[in-house]
Structure 1
Amino acid sequence: MPLFYFDVQLGPSCLPDHTGLDLETVAAADHEATRSALEIARHQLLKAEVPHVRVTVRNERRQHMLTASVSMRVDREVSHPELRPRRGSSTILDPVSGTRVSMDLA
Protein backbone atom coordinates (compact mmCIF):
# COMPACT_ATOMS: atom_id res chain seq x y z
CA MET A 1 0.00 0.00 0.00
CA PRO A 2 1.46 3.42 -0.93
CA LEU A 3 2.58 5.80 1.79
CA PHE A 4 1.49 9.45 1.55
CA TYR A 5 2.67 12.44 3.61
CA PHE A 6 0.35 15.33 4.45
CA ASP A 7 2.17 18.59 5.19
CA VAL A 8 -0.08 21.27 6.71
CA GLN A 9 0.46 24.98 6.16
CA LEU A 10 -1.42 27.40 8.41
CA GLY A 11 -0.69 30.87 7.07
CA PRO A 12 3.09 31.24 7.17
CA SER A 13 3.64 28.20 9.43
CA CYS A 14 4.34 24.76 7.95
CA LEU A 15 3.86 21.51 9.86
CA PRO A 16 5.61 18.73 7.93
CA ASP A 17 4.31 15.18 8.19
CA HIS A 18 7.17 12.85 9.16
CA THR A 19 4.99 9.76 9.69
CA GLY A 20 2.80 9.44 6.62
CA LEU A 21 -0.38 7.48 6.04
CA ASP A 22 -0.89 4.25 4.07
CA LEU A 23 -3.69 4.67 1.53
CA GLU A 24 -4.83 2.56 -1.41
CA THR A 25 -4.75 5.20 -4.17
CA VAL A 26 -3.86 8.77 -5.07
CA ALA A 27 -7.62 9.45 -5.16
CA ALA A 28 -7.83 8.35 -1.51
CA ALA A 29 -4.96 10.70 -0.66
CA ASP A 30 -6.77 13.50 -2.53
CA HIS A 31 -9.93 12.84 -0.49
CA GLU A 32 -7.95 12.77 2.78
CA ALA A 33 -6.15 16.04 1.94
CA THR A 34 -9.42 17.77 1.09
CA ARG A 35 -11.16 16.45 4.20
CA SER A 36 -8.21 17.49 6.38
CA ALA A 37 -8.00 20.98 4.85
CA LEU A 38 -11.73 21.53 5.43
CA GLU A 39 -11.59 20.25 9.00
CA ILE A 40 -8.55 22.35 9.90
CA ALA A 41 -10.06 25.42 8.21
CA ARG A 42 -13.29 24.92 10.13
CA HIS A 43 -11.35 25.47 13.36
CA GLN A 44 -8.62 27.90 12.28
CA LEU A 45 -9.89 30.35 9.65
CA LEU A 46 -12.64 31.87 11.71
CA LYS A 47 -10.25 32.63 14.54
CA ALA A 48 -8.73 35.15 12.09
CA GLU A 49 -5.28 33.86 12.98
CA VAL A 50 -4.51 32.51 9.51
CA PRO A 51 -5.87 33.55 6.08
CA HIS A 52 -5.57 30.11 4.53
CA VAL A 53 -5.02 26.42 5.17
CA ARG A 54 -3.07 24.26 2.74
CA VAL A 55 -2.50 20.51 2.85
CA THR A 56 0.22 19.29 0.49
CA VAL A 57 0.46 15.59 -0.31
CA ARG A 58 3.79 13.92 -1.05
CA ASN A 59 4.32 10.31 -2.09
CA GLU A 60 6.71 7.82 -0.47
CA ARG A 61 9.57 9.27 -2.54
CA ARG A 62 8.62 12.66 -1.03
CA GLN A 63 7.52 13.99 -4.42
CA HIS A 64 4.72 16.56 -4.49
CA MET A 65 1.45 14.96 -5.65
CA LEU A 66 -1.29 17.52 -4.97
CA THR A 67 -2.35 20.41 -2.76
CA ALA A 68 -5.76 21.07 -1.17
CA SER A 69 -6.30 24.69 -0.10
CA VAL A 70 -9.03 26.50 1.80
CA SER A 71 -9.08 30.26 2.30
CA MET A 72 -11.52 32.87 3.46
CA ARG A 73 -11.79 36.58 2.83
CA VAL A 74 -14.33 38.92 4.35
CA ASP A 75 -14.61 42.47 3.02
CA ARG A 76 -16.19 44.83 5.54
CA GLU A 77 -17.12 48.43 4.95
CA VAL A 78 -15.27 50.08 7.86
CA SER A 79 -17.33 53.28 7.69
CA HIS A 80 -20.34 51.42 9.13
CA PRO A 81 -20.04 51.38 12.93
CA GLU A 82 -22.45 48.45 13.31
CA LEU A 83 -20.03 46.15 11.50
CA ARG A 84 -18.33 44.09 14.15
CA PRO A 85 -16.78 40.66 14.08
CA ARG A 86 -19.69 38.23 13.83
CA ARG A 87 -20.52 35.59 16.40
CA GLY A 88 -22.69 32.56 15.96
CA SER A 89 -22.41 29.86 13.34
CA SER A 90 -22.30 29.45 9.61
CA THR A 91 -22.79 26.48 7.31
CA ILE A 92 -20.77 25.63 4.20
CA LEU A 93 -21.08 22.83 1.67
CA ASP A 94 -18.30 20.22 1.78
CA PRO A 95 -17.38 19.80 -1.91
CA VAL A 96 -16.06 16.27 -1.37
CA SER A 97 -18.96 14.64 0.43
CA GLY A 98 -21.72 17.07 -0.57
CA THR A 99 -22.74 17.44 3.08
CA ARG A 100 -23.17 20.67 4.98
CA VAL A 101 -20.46 21.56 7.53
CA SER A 102 -21.29 23.87 10.44
CA MET A 103 -18.67 26.38 11.50
CA ASP A 104 -18.63 28.37 14.73
CA LEU A 105 -17.92 32.05 14.20
CA ALA A 106 -15.73 33.52 16.92
Structure 2
Amino acid sequence: MPRFYFDVREEDRIIPDEVGVELESVEAAEREAIRRVTGISQERLSKGITSEIEVQVKDHEGFLLLTVTVSVVVRRTVRALE
Protein backbone atom coordinates (compact mmCIF):
# COMPACT_ATOMS: atom_id res chain seq x y z
CA MET A 1 0.00 0.00 0.00
CA PRO A 2 1.24 3.51 -0.72
CA ARG A 3 2.25 5.82 2.12
CA PHE A 4 0.73 9.30 2.33
CA TYR A 5 1.91 12.27 4.38
CA PHE A 6 -0.44 14.86 5.86
CA ASP A 7 1.26 18.21 6.49
CA VAL A 8 -0.82 20.76 8.40
CA ARG A 9 -0.64 24.48 7.61
CA GLU A 10 -2.17 27.10 9.87
CA GLU A 11 -1.46 30.74 9.05
CA ASP A 12 2.31 30.89 8.47
CA ARG A 13 3.11 27.69 10.36
CA ILE A 14 3.55 24.26 8.77
CA ILE A 15 3.64 21.06 10.80
CA PRO A 16 5.17 18.35 8.61
CA ASP A 17 4.03 14.75 8.87
CA GLU A 18 7.27 12.80 9.12
CA VAL A 19 5.66 9.38 9.67
CA GLY A 20 2.84 9.13 7.15
CA VAL A 21 0.06 6.57 6.88
CA GLU A 22 -0.35 3.62 4.54
CA LEU A 23 -3.69 3.82 2.74
CA GLU A 24 -5.26 2.02 -0.20
CA SER A 25 -5.63 4.96 -2.58
CA VAL A 26 -5.58 8.71 -3.16
CA GLU A 27 -9.33 8.67 -2.49
CA ALA A 28 -8.70 7.13 0.94
CA ALA A 29 -6.01 9.77 1.57
CA GLU A 30 -8.51 12.48 0.63
CA ARG A 31 -11.04 11.13 3.15
CA GLU A 32 -8.31 11.03 5.81
CA ALA A 33 -7.30 14.62 5.03
CA ILE A 34 -10.92 15.75 5.38
CA ARG A 35 -11.22 13.91 8.69
CA ARG A 36 -8.03 15.54 9.98
CA VAL A 37 -8.79 19.09 8.86
CA THR A 38 -12.33 19.01 10.30
CA GLY A 39 -11.05 17.59 13.59
CA ILE A 40 -8.40 20.30 13.90
CA SER A 41 -10.87 23.06 13.02
CA GLN A 42 -13.44 21.80 15.56
CA GLU A 43 -10.77 21.76 18.26
CA ARG A 44 -9.66 25.30 17.38
CA LEU A 45 -13.24 26.59 17.25
CA SER A 46 -14.01 25.14 20.69
CA LYS A 47 -11.23 27.43 21.98
CA GLY A 48 -12.63 30.44 20.12
CA ILE A 49 -9.83 30.46 17.56
CA THR A 50 -10.80 31.12 13.95
CA SER A 51 -8.27 30.71 11.17
CA GLU A 52 -7.72 28.91 7.91
CA ILE A 53 -6.42 25.37 8.30
CA GLU A 54 -5.02 23.34 5.44
CA VAL A 55 -3.94 19.72 5.16
CA GLN A 56 -1.56 19.01 2.31
CA VAL A 57 -1.38 15.39 1.19
CA LYS A 58 1.94 14.26 -0.27
CA ASP A 59 3.22 10.97 -1.60
CA HIS A 60 6.39 9.16 -0.48
CA GLU A 61 8.47 11.33 -2.83
CA GLY A 62 7.08 14.56 -1.36
CA PHE A 63 4.90 15.31 -4.40
CA LEU A 64 1.79 17.32 -3.47
CA LEU A 65 -1.30 15.27 -4.42
CA LEU A 66 -4.12 17.33 -2.96
CA THR A 67 -5.00 20.01 -0.45
CA VAL A 68 -8.02 20.24 1.85
CA THR A 69 -8.76 23.65 3.38
CA VAL A 70 -11.22 24.76 6.05
CA SER A 71 -11.72 28.44 6.69
CA VAL A 72 -13.90 29.96 9.39
CA VAL A 73 -14.50 33.68 9.15
CA VAL A 74 -16.55 35.63 11.67
CA ARG A 75 -17.75 39.11 10.65
CA ARG A 76 -19.61 41.06 13.27
CA THR A 77 -21.87 43.92 12.33
CA VAL A 78 -21.87 47.24 14.13
CA ARG A 79 -25.29 46.41 15.58
CA ALA A 80 -23.96 43.15 17.06
CA LEU A 81 -21.34 45.13 18.98
CA GLU A 82 -23.91 47.35 20.73
Aligned to 2:21: 21
How many percent identity over aligned positions?
38
In the alignment, structure 2 segments of 5+ residues that lack a partner are none
For 1:33-80, what per-residue CA distance to the aligned partner results, in whole angstroms no more than 9, with x for missing partners?
011000000011453545111000000111000000000111101354
- The Cα RMSD (Å) is 1.6
Q: Per chain length, whose mean CA-contact separation is higher, i.e. which structure has more relative contact order (CA < 8 Å, sep 6+)?
A: 2
Kindly indicate whether the alpha-carbon contact (under 8 Å) linking 1:57 and 1:67 is maintained by their aligned counterparts in 2.
yes
* Structure 1 residues 48 and 40: CA distance shift in structure 2, 3 A: same
Q: What are the residue-to-residue correspondences of 1:75-90 with 2, within 5 Å?
A: 75-82=75-82
What is the TM-score of this pair, normalised by structure 1? 0.70
Q: Distance in 1 between matches of 2:81 and 2:71?
A: 26
Q: Distance in 2 between matches of 1:26 and 1:59?
A: 9
In the alignment, structure 1 segments of 5+ residues that lack a partner are 83-106
What is the TM-score of this pair, normalised by structure 2? 0.88
Higher helix share: 2
Question: Would you say 1:36 and 2:36 are equivalent positions?
Answer: yes
